[in-house]
Structure 1
Amino acid sequence: MATPFPEESGTVQKKRARPLRAWIVLALAILAGLVAAYLAVQTLKTKERDAIERILARSNQGTIDVVVPTQNLAPGALLSYAVVSKRAVPADTAPADVITPEQFDTYVGHRINIPLTEGKPILRSYLSGKRALADIIAPDKLALTMTVDNVSTLNGLLQPGDKVDILWFYKPPQNDASDDLASKDAVRYLDSGIKVMATGTRTISDDSQSGVSDDPAAGSRPESFSTVTLELSPDQVEKMTLAKRLGELQLVLRPANAQGKEINKVFTIKDILGTHERARRHFTSVSDTIEYIVGGTGGHVARMPNT
């Protein structure tokens, strides 16, 4: 009979557990790694943001706004706000005579000397030296030049752009040949609020281009001139031309912001001497008296009002 195998003597050995301190060290290492990664990402983002801000700041400091056409413009065309816009260009490449938006108002209405390409900065050298008188007259107006004396020119103080009233000195029709004063001079307002376009050869365009805005009595002015150019409607031109032939015209300066007001009053020598008033009082004193004839004698015995 077989004998069973003999049982081996001894004990089973258990695996030793990892100490708690090792787990704590591992956890701290992982946390430190996460913190380091977070800080690294934030540092990179901050540097990237600072770099973008520096680029933008450098870009803004290196550009200026200039005026460019919004379409191709042919020589002879007039500049206006309808055909231009502004555009930012590098300041170091912009020509010295480029027109900026702040300066453009001075050049509105100037003629173009060369073809202009859409989007290309407009230079002062591309434009005519100054606007012609025909360029600054309103489309529905005409320009009329008339000779004036020192009184009408306010001794040279009248300026382009001023508004004036026009007085007409003339001889009224002789309705009563027996009236010695009927053939004498009369004066009336012919027009009011008329715009002065030029005094002599100095125009509104000249003042706009040179920036003239000071008192003409200061410095080297007032200037001497013997003609004035007015902006008138076609009807006013006809009326002014005929009035000039039949009498004399005198200009009267209006306040800068005053509105034109039609005045139809006609003054004659009778108004100055008061003869109209004396005649009216005499006529009233006679017409208000009714004469009664009583007993063959006449006399002003009653004063009764007319009905």
Structure 2
Amino acid sequence: MRLMFGLVLVIGLGLAGFAVYMAQTYIGQYETELAAERAARAKQIKVEPVVVAKTTLRYGQQITLDDLRRVHWPTASMPEGTFQTAEDLFPKGGPQFRTVLRAMEAGEPLLRVKVTEPGADAGITSRLGRGMRAFAIRVDVTSGVSGFLRPGDKVDVYWTGHAQGRQVTKLIDTGIRLIAVDQIADEDTMKPKVARTITVEATPQQVAALAQAQSTGRLSLSLVGAYDDVVAEAVEVDQNILLGIEDAPVIAQEQAQVCTIRTRRGSEVVDMPIPCTN
């Protein structure tokens, strides 16, 4: 009887030890998995809601909420000027559509610079910044850079005309942005076009200068590189500078001194030259 009792006790102790071992193993695995989950959560990217295009959107297309959807976008790479809610995009009580100014692909965040204000169309006025004005310049195949100008490009403007008795070419403005070429304002167009007029965005002061220059001479445009941030310095060239001819110095000639003596002949007074004695 004692032998049986001892055998049962030994077996019980063994089972208890095995149960403790299995419990420790399970708890250890659970803690390891919990620590891994916490580490994964710590590395999780922070996101925010943003409005994106459902399908490809092209210039001039009117968009409503049916053309858009909300997705979560990484906060660290969030573009500037996005819309996060429908109320932000279309305020209550206002028009429920906007017009596309720049083409967007499906899944691309909707940006304020690529759409008009609610209810506006894609006309020239929607492209003008605050305090800016639109001004048209006459161009041809040579002055218009052979038809390579597109809306959104920047140009330097040169004036050629007569000043102080000589023909001069002078840089009168730099980095002026084009907002339309003829009647085309789509910045995504890739088709070359020889334009007759181009429309630029300028301040009222610049508009006055361009109008005066266009009425008194000939304007030519020089295309500025897309990533060029160098501001051109003052430039003025005439024929002598072009050919390297130096202007002859003007030598003032001393005016010959004339001495006279006045005599009267009857009723007539006569001035007669005589040598100057100084």
- Scaled to the shorter chain, the TM-score interval is 0.5 to 0.7
1:194 deviates by 1.4
What is the SS of the residue equivalent to 1:185? Answer: strand
Task: State how many pairs are aligned.
Answer: 198
Counterpart of 1:260 in structure 2 is: 231
Partner of 1:7: none
Check 1:31–1:201 CA distance in 2 against 1; reply closer, same or farther (3 A cut): farther
In structure 2, the residue matched to 1:135 is 126
Match of 2:218 in 1: 248
- SS of 2:201's equivalent in the other structure is strand
More strand by share: 2
Q: How big is each residue's C-alpha offset from its partner over 1:185-242, in whole Å with a ceiling of 9 and x where there is no partner?
A: 3221111121222222332xx335xxx6xxx5xxxx3223211111111110111111
Mapped to 2, the partners of 1:42 and 1:258 lie a distance apart of 65
Identical positions, percent: 22
For 1:1-307, list aligned pairs within 5 A.
18-29=1-12, 31-32=14-15, 35-36=18-19, 39=22, 42=26, 64-65=71-72, 68-69=84-85, 71-72=87-88, 73-74=90-91, 75=94, 100=107, 102-105=108-111, 108-113=114-119, 131-173=122-164, 182=165, 184-203=166-185, 206-208=186-188, 216=190, 221-256=191-226, 257-265=228-236, 267-272=237-242, 277=246, 279-280=248-249, 283=250
CA distance in 1, matches of 2:153, 2:105: 31
SS at match of 2:146: coil
Q: Which runs of 5+ in 1 are unaligned?
A: 1-17, 54-62, 80-96, 114-127, 174-181, 288-307
Query: Is the Cα–Cα contact under 8 Å of residues 166 and 189 in structure 1 kept in the other structure?
Result: yes
Aligned mates of 2:148, 2:124 — CA distance in 1: 21
Contact 1:163 1:194 (8 Å CA) reproduced:
yes
SS of the residue 1:155 aligns to: helix
Contact 1:76 1:111 survives alignment (8 Å): no
Do 1:78 and 1:110's aligned partners in 2 also have CA atoms closer than 8 Å? no
Deviations 1:74-115 (A, max 9, x none): 235998xxxxxxxxxxxxxxxxx9974x432486443335xx
Equivalent pair of 2:150/2:187 in contact (CA under 8 Å): no
Listed as ranges, the gaps of 5+ residues in structure 2 are: 38-69, 74-82, 99-103, 254-278
Distance 1:34 1:142, change over 3 A: farther
The answer to whether the 8 A contact 2:154-2:175 is kept is yes
Scaled by the length of structure 2, the TM-score of the pair is: 0.55
